[in-house]
């Protein structure tokens, strides 16, 4: 069970800000911080690594509902914190344990999903 709305909202806000600040030139400090803490925080929030299956399944449903839309628009229709969090946690695991690639090419993906998590966990009073 994912953590509460406020905690998830704060997580998304902080990490989205970090990714945006380091978009152009990720520093070694940011890379190490991402490597060490992002996964621990996802775990603490109750997100699970599922190899991105729930996120991929949801994207497929959105493709069916919104034919021809770019992936960024499809992600904006996902409001389930678990699906977004599982996708983030699984992508983190891929980068830190399996990928032989740099994070730079996927920073925009993390920003997009973190922003959607931020929006979907916002208070209705904002």
Is position 90 within any domain?
Answer: yes
Is position 126 within any domain?
Answer: no
3-state helix, strand, coil in the chain (%, to 5): 70, 0, 30
Mean pLDDT of 2-14: 92
In this predicted model, what pLDDT tens digit does every residue of 13-36 receive, in sequence order?
999 999 999 887 778 888 889 989
The parent domain of residue 63 ranges over 5-120
Is position 49 within any domain?
Answer: yes
Residue of 16, 44, 46, 124 whose CA lies nearest to 79 = 124
Mean pLDDT of 88-114: 88
Count the domains in the chain: 1
Q: Which helix (H) or strand (E) holds 19?
A: helix 5-21
Give the model's confidence band at 100: pLDDT under 50 very low, under 70 low, under 90 confident, else very high: confident
Is position 125 within any domain?
Answer: no
């Amino acid at each position: 069970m994912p953590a509460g709305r406020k905690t998830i909202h704060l997580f998304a806000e902080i990490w989205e800000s970090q990714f945006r600040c380091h978009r152009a030139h990720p520093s070694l400090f940011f890379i190490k911080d991402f490597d060490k803490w992002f996964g621990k925080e996802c775990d603490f929030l109750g997100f699970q690594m599922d190899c991105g299956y729930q996120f991929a399944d949801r994207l497929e449903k959105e493709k069916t509902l919104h034919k021809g839309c770019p992936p960024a628009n499809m992600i904006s229709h996902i409001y389930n914190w678990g699906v977004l969090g599982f996708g983030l946690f699984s992508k983190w695991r891929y980068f830190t344990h399996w990928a032989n690639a740099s994070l730079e090419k996927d920073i925009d993906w993390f920003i997009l999903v973190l922003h959607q998590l931020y929006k979907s966990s916002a208070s209705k009073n904002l």
